Structure formats: C-alpha cells, structure tokens
Structure 1
Amino acid sequence: MTGACVVGCRRIAKRFGHVDALREANTAVGAGKVVALVGDNGAGKSTLMKTLLGINRPDRGEVIIDDRPVQLHSIRDAQALGVEAVHQDLALAPQLSVVDNMFLGHEIASRGLGVLARDEMADRAAKALAELSIQLPSLTVPIRELSGGQRQAVAVARAVMWARTAVLMDEPTSALGARQSEIIVDLIRAVAARGLGVLVVSHDLPRILQAADTVTVLWRGETVLDAPASDLTVPDLVATMVGYRKDGAA
C-alpha cells in the first residue's frame, strides 16, 4: 500500500506460552481506505486486532498510527490517538437508550448544573447517525428493542463519532441476515468515505470483498498475502487461508 498508514503494523510477533499467535504480521490501512483482515480460525486475526488497540503488547515489531511507530499500553492509548473499535459483542448497554450508548464514557454535563446535557447529547447523536444515513425508530428507546442490524449500526456510529484516525471492526456482519449484512457493508464504505481508515476482521468473504480496497491474509500468525480486493476472488482467499505453504504450493 502506498501513502500514509493511519493504522497498521510491521513484523508483529506475539507469543502466549508455547503458542506463537503472531509471527510476522504486517498490514497498513490508509485514510479513507478499507482493509479486510481474513484468515482461518486460529490465524491470529483477533490477536492482531487487540494488539493494534493496545489490549495486547507485541513481543516484537511496531504498531503504526498516523504513519509513526507508537507504544500502546492500553486501549485508552489507542483511543487518545483517534483509533476506535466496534467489537463483535458490540459493547452496548441493552437497558440504556441509543443516545446514552453513543455517549457511554463520554457524557456531557451541563455547565454548573451537575446534570447531563441531554438535549446536546441527543442533537449530536442524531447528527452522527444522519451523517452515516442510519435511520432508527427513535433515539430514546433502549438498545434491546432494536434489531441486530440496528444495534450494529449504532455501535459503528458511536465509534465513528469519537474516531479521528481509524475504526477497527470485528466481524461486523456476524449473526446478521442477508439484507442487514448488505446495509452494514454500505455503512463500512460510508465510514471510509469520511476519511477514516477502516480495518475489518471478517469471515464473510463475499461481502468483505465488496467492501474492501485491500485484503490482508493471515496464516498461522504471518501475513502471506496483501493485495487489492479487486484482484481476488473468494476461491483465491480460501485457497490462501487454508492451503498456504512457504513454497507457495497448495
């Protein structure tokens, strides 16, 4: 990939006991670009995502944010550099409203009154959703009353609202129906169109090829393919994910 890397890594290695979760992982996401991170189960995708978020600390290699190596000691460090995440479990509070979820940990207090500035929070939440063309029945309903696709959209909008650099997404179409998955694919492209880098971990190969500019394939903790999505097919990806060897043979 040419140009600046807003989030990525070089030669990352991470070991847990006797297991090499990552050995030689490399990826780079540019501003306004979508990179799909794919691989078979156990390839190291989740470990790499957690490393880019500061949840794991690498044993070797560099995490890159805004085109420079950084030391991350927690997810707060990544957030301070403008990197947000949409986790597979969404990390939403089901009993709280859409607005409260979007401001969870970022609540705005009315000056001098010691209470939440709910009108301002509602206005900002509505604007953030509208900018991504997300339509919900209400912003005051509890999250538990929304469909799976609507919840996913709220989680994405929340991440985008607080991100300045990049958004990392873990299995954003997991457990969604076909129509809802297509909406999330469109949403991924809309996030990139705002100038943010987007890294997506996904097993949904047909849809991720629609959304991605570039695909990074991990095999046993090592990056074995980094190529434009337009040059790849689902059979190409499957063959690389499950059949790669150092000599390149199947």
Structure 2
Amino acid sequence: MAIAVETRTRPVLALANIHKAFGGIVAIEDFSLELKAGEIVALVGDNGAGKSTLIKIVSGVHAPTSGTITLDGEKVSFSDASAARSNGIEVVYQDLALADQQPVYMNLFLGREMVRKPWGTLDRSSMIAETERLVEELDVRIPSAHATIRDLSGGQRQGVAIARATRWAKKLILLDEPTAALGVAETAKVEKIVQSLKERDLAILIISHSLDQVFRLSDRICVLRRGVQIGVRETASTDKNEIVSMITGVH
C-alpha cells in the first residue's frame, strides 16, 4: 500500500537546478520545479524571461547545460523531441503544427498512423472512430472527424491540437500560449478543454501572458524574470499584484 501512495504523490516531472547557456548567454539560471498528476502549473514572465527555452528543454528540443530532469522518479536525458514524446510528453505550440490540407483524423495521428496488418494500409476507420471518441470526450466542437483543418476556426484548430496531445501524452502536456490568437468566446472553449485534462490525471505546464487566464486555470504559478526563477506561488494564496511585482521586479 505504501508503494501505491508513493506513486500517487511522486511528481510526474521534477526539474532540479536546470541551467541553460547558449555560448556566453545564460537563458536559464537555476530552475527547479515539480509537477504532479492532475495539476496545472502556469509559467509566467515577460518576453525573454526564458519560458519558451524551458519548454524546449522539457520537450527535448534543447538539452540543459546542467541540472537534472526526472520523469516518474527516473532521471531522463532526451536526445531530441521524439525521445521526449516516446516518454509520454506532448507539446502544443502557438503555431499548432497542424497539416492544413489534411482532415482532423489524419492530424490526430500525424506521423503515428494506424495501419492494417499485414499490408500496412492506413486503418482510416479506426482512426476516425478514435478521433470521434476523443473530441467528444474533450467537447471539441468540430463538424466531423473528416473536416479539413483549413476550414476550422482558430479555436477549433487549437482544440484539435490539444486533443492530439491528449491522445499521445502519457504523463505531461506542455501548452505554449494556447489561446494567444483567439477571441473571448473561443478562449473560453479552449480553457474548458484544458481544465478537463486535469481529470485525465495528466500534469500540465502552461505558458500564458494572460494573468486572468492563469488565475482561472492554474493550481500554482511559477515566475521567471530574465532567466531567473523568482518564485512559485499557490494560485489560491496570491493575487495579480504580487505576480506582477514578481514579473517586473517593481514593488
């Protein structure tokens, strides 16, 4: 029983003393953070604070100059982004990385298509069925799994990108400004999808410039300023004034 309790309370992701330098330029100074299953942590800071660099370190795009990354209690080192994906980490970037000319179901399985044995032909019916199941579960409002990405609204596209990440993520989803280009109504829809991810026991790390959104979605808030970790606050125990002063350094 003790093992089961430890597994539940053990962080999904633990970053310890992460340092990242590009030549003589230090992008991340000394960053430590733990994320648990079913938790949303917001990463905030001005442009150039190091938020995107940190996302790229966790997702295998950049290797840290020093420091350790631990996933489910095991130290990991990702050679590239595909290695991070194979370990259950998915990223939704601002540009979404969707294939505009392809239907929704093909985007959900992009690069990981289901095939029929022994001939290796695409198993379209299974991919369509799985897509329909997932978008219904997440309440992603799209016309159908056959709809072409280019015909969808910005919010619908974002919903598809998050659904794809949810389909493949086993442990962690990283969201980089998921509603930056959306209007109020579509932002609300996407936020509802993000909140539903907690119930799937995934750990969520979200970058957002909107403090309103951060306070609506997150359990904790981590502040970066010029590559330095200023602090982590429980969302329910802080307010916008404190977070703004941490971001700007002005009290």
1:57 pairs with 2:26: no
Q: Is there any run of 5+ residues in structure 2 with no aligned partner, and where?
A: 1-7
Residue aligning to 2:177: 171
Residue aligning to 1:98: 104
Question: Following TM superposition, by how much is the alpha carbon of 1:142 offset from its aligned partner in structure 2, in angstroms?
Answer: 1.0
- How is 1:10-89 mapped onto 2 (pairs within 5 angstroms)? 10-89=16-95
1:221 pairs with 2:193: no
CA–CA separation in structure 2 for the residues paired with 1:193 and 1:68: 24
User: Counterpart amino acid of 1:232?
Assistant: T
* Residue 126 of structure 2, aligned match among 120, 129, 136: 120
- Alpha-carbon contact 1:216-1:226 (below 8 Å) kept: yes
- Alpha-carbon contact 1:182-1:207 (below 8 Å) kept: no
CA–CA separation in structure 2 for the residues paired with 1:113 and 1:11: 49
* Residue 7 of structure 1, aligned match among 2, 13, 16: 13
C-alpha offsets along residues 201-237 of structure 1, whole Å, 9 cap, x if unaligned? 1111111211001111111212111111111222221
- Alpha-carbon contact 2:29-2:228 (below 8 Å) kept: yes
CA–CA separation in structure 2 for the residues paired with 1:217 and 1:8: 16
Instruction: Give the fraction of aligned pairs with identical amino acids, expressed as a percent.
Output: 37
C-alpha offsets along residues 119-173 of structure 1, whole Å, 9 cap, x if unaligned? 0000011111111122211211210100000000000000000111011110001
Query: What stretches of structure 1 move > 4 A for 4+ residues in a row?
Result: none
TM-score by length of 2: 0.94
1:180 pairs with 2:156: no
CA RMSD for the aligned pairs? 1.3
Question: Following TM superposition, by how much is the alpha carbon of 1:176 offset from its aligned partner in structure 2, in angstroms?
Answer: 0.5
CA–CA separation in structure 1 for the residues paired with 2:85 and 2:18: 20
1:150 pairs with 2:156: yes
User: Counterpart amino acid of 2:220?
Assistant: T
1:3–1:222 distance in 2 versus 1, CA, 3 Å: farther
Deviates most, 108-117 or 43-52: 108-117
CA–CA separation in structure 2 for the residues paired with 1:181 and 1:230: 22
* Residue 160 of structure 1, aligned match among 166, 188, 212: 166
Q: Name the SS for the 1:63 alignment partner.
A: strand
- Alpha-carbon contact 2:132-2:144 (below 8 Å) kept: no
C-alpha offsets along residues 1-27 of structure 1, whole Å, 9 cap, x if unaligned? x93221241111101122110001122
Q: Is there any run of 5+ residues in structure 1 with no aligned partner, and where?
A: 245-249
CA–CA separation in structure 2 for the residues paired with 1:31 and 1:60: 25
* Residue 135 of structure 2, aligned match among 129, 132, 142: 129
TM-score by length of 1: 0.94
Residue aligning to 1:241: 247
Deviates most, 234-243 or 168-177: 234-243
CA–CA separation in structure 2 for the residues paired with 1:178 and 1:64: 37
- Alpha-carbon contact 1:185-1:208 (below 8 Å) kept: no
Deviates most, 90-99 or 3-12: 3-12
Question: Following TM superposition, by how much is the alpha carbon of 1:104 offset from its aligned partner in structure 2, in angstroms?
Answer: 0.2
